Structures are given as C-alpha cells and as structure tokens.
Amino acid sequence: MSSYIFKKLNQFLKSTTFGVLLVTFAMTLGLNASWAQGTNKELKIGFIAALSGPGQSWGLGMLGGLELAADDVNKRGGLKVGNTTYNIKVISYDDKYAGPPAAQAAERLVSQDEVKFIFGPLGSVSMLAIADITESNKVLVFSNSYTVKALNKNKPYTFRLTPTTAENSIPMIAYIAKANPSLKSVVIVSPNDESGKEVQSHNEPGYGKAGIKLLAKEFYERGTQDFVPVLTRLLALKPDIIDLNGSTPNDSGIIIKQARQIGFKGQFVKVGGPGVADAIRVAGDVSNGLYYYSPWDPEEPKTKALADRFQVKYNSPMNPLGIFFYEGGNMLFNTIAQVQSLDTDVIRKHLENSKYFDGIQGRYVWGGMETYGNNHQVNAPFFVGQVVNGKEVMRTKINP
C-alpha cells in the first residue's frame, strides 16, 4: 500500500465513530500489554566510605563488594517487587575517613538522590556523624564501625555488617597466646580517634584474659608517617608483641617497617581492621610472621571466585572487608524479594526477626540484643591468619 493511500485511510478512520473506537481499542491493547509486562525502574543504593587516603583499600573493598552483589541481581534480570522490576544502581561518595564529609554525603544521598538504603560508612567517627540524618529519615544503614555507640535500641534503622573486636578479640588473642606460649607482654599502637580507642578497649581485656601483660598503649594522629618517636618509647619497655590495633593496612605496613628498622624482633599482631595486602606491600619481607584478623579465607573456592571477579573489574586486589558488603548487599536484596516491599520499616522488622543468612563463607547470625538492645549486629565466621613468606596463610577458623 502506498504512503498516500495509507495516509488517507488513517484520516478516514479518525474522522468516523468506527475509526475512533478502533484507535481507542488499539491503544487499550497497548496499555494492557504494557501492564502485563510490568515496568522497569532504578533502585538507588547509597554508599559512603573512604575512597581516598589512608582507609582507601578498606573503602574500595566495601564498595566493590556491594557493586558485585548489585551486578549479580542485574545480571539475573533485576529485582522484582510486585509488577515492577528494579535495576540496582549504587551511588557512592568519598567521606575521606572523616565525620563532616560523611554527614554531607548522607545529606546529599537522602535529600538529592532520595535513597532509602545506605551502605557504610567506614569508621566510628563517620558512623556517628550520619546517624541523626539517616534515623530521622528512616533510611536503613548497613554500616562498618567498631564503636558500641553505633547500635542501640534508639537507632532502629541502623545495622552493622562487620563483627567488631567486641566479638572477635578474645577468641583471636586466646588462639595466638596458646600457639605462642612464650609471648608474655604487649604494647598497643592505635589511631587517636573513636575507632582506634574502641578497638583498643576490646583488645586490652583480651590480652588480660590470655595472661599477656599490657605494658603501654600509644595513640597517634591519622596521617602520621614517622612512627619512630612513638616506637622508640614503646621498644624501651621490651615488649614481646606490638599490636597494630585499628591501624589501616597502609599505616600497619609503615609501623612494621619502621619498628624492624630500629631493632624490634618480636611479634606483630593486628586484631582490629582486616586486610594485610597493603601492609605486606609496604613492609615487604619484614611483615613475615604478622598475625592478623581475617573475615575470609582467600583460597576457599567461592571466596576466591569473588576476589577474582573484583580483580578483573577493578584491576586491584579485593580488601577482605568487601566480603561483608557483598553478603550484606545480598541480605538486603533477598529480603526485599521476600517481603515484596521497599518500605524500610517492613524490611528492618524482617531482618530483626531473621535468625541467620547463609552466605558464601558460611552462616551469618543476626544478634546483639544483650549488648545493644536489638538484633542489628552480624556475627560471622572469621579466621586468624599469618603472613608467611609474603603470603597470607589461614591458621584457624573461628565460628560464631
């Protein structure tokens, strides 16, 4: 049929009652088809952490873990809620490991990006800085911080994805003490902020219970590069152990290297804050022997596959903190699919009443009622690792 004839026929149909009915019927068919197929939307997920500076490897690991969980959902066709399918989009902001930028990021995520779910931030100072903003707007937060102030019954929308030294210090130090009975004394080197002080407060009783004497504790300002004055004072006490506490992986490497340079021959222990790849890179061979907390076994097949995906996507090793945010992303997405709702009250109540989540590392248990007044704290399996010939070797697994 020529375009001229088609044009005339169309004009005729529209000019008659029959034509109007026919066009209306066709439009209705189209609308019904669209309804049957459902609609597609974007579900924005906020993210806040240190994406530059000393905590960068932690922050990038967290972000990558969350984005890989989102990739899994999107590759499966999205997250279906009712008749709507959501494609997950992660919106991230760098808080530079500081409170004011974290609060600014939270404000922007809530008021401009209109998110209802935020992962992060990294560290206690940032966590405390965003709490008023997120709680007042009923935004669910899945955080990483060590402070006991992060969780309480008056913060119903805040959850914590990372087990803290309150859960891990005592069993980890007990294992190290049993494996090394000659270790009798320790000094602790810690960042001078909420995170560092919180970790130290858990490690100190851990050493006491293990029968290891605490000789001294030193707090340094984040950004310090010359630790020799601090280390010189501590080494004069002749400790068997230097505990790196909540120091970042990069800072840990510097401390290890400088301590060895001025003559320390004892044991390094890092109970707080996972990730040793950067410490090994910075300290080199002198990092050998370091005991550290690890949330994963990087050689376990499922974990290794995830780390390999991270390496391919970001062209860098995955910090172990990423495992919690991969699992945490899946916890949220699975919960949304189960409750068929994006209402944060519906989701939080479901999580509070969920006894566990089976992840790629094992069983993650929601707890914390006795300590915090609600079940918003994840307890997870973890490992005690040791650096051997520049490699990470898992010595034991401790289950919750």
The whole model's pTM is what?
Answer: 0.76
Q: Where are the domains of the chain?
A: 3-29, 39-163+299-380, 166-294
Protein fold of 166-294: Rossmann fold (3.40.50)
> What's the CATH number of domain 39-163+299-380, 3.40.50.11740, 3.40.50.2300, 3.40.50.2000, 3.40.640.10?
3.40.50.2300
166-294 matches 39-163+299-380 in CATH topology: yes
- Per-position pLDDT tens, the chain of length 400: 444 444 444 554 445 544 444 444 444 445 444 444 579 999 999 999 999 987 898 899 999 999 999 999 999 999 999 999 999 999 999 999 999 999 999 999 999 999 999 999 988 899 999 999 999 999 999 999 878 889 999 999 999 998 888 888 999 999 999 999 999 999 999 999 877 888 888 899 999 999 999 999 999 998 899 999 999 999 999 999 999 998 988 999 999 999 999 999 999 999 887 778 889 999 999 999 999 999 889 889 999 999 999 999 999 999 888 999 999 999 999 999 999 999 999 999 999 998 889 999 888 989 889 888 999 999 888 999 999 999 999 999 998 7
Q: Which residues contact 240 (CB under 8 A, 6 or more apart)?
A: 182, 183, 184, 185, 186, 212, 266, 267
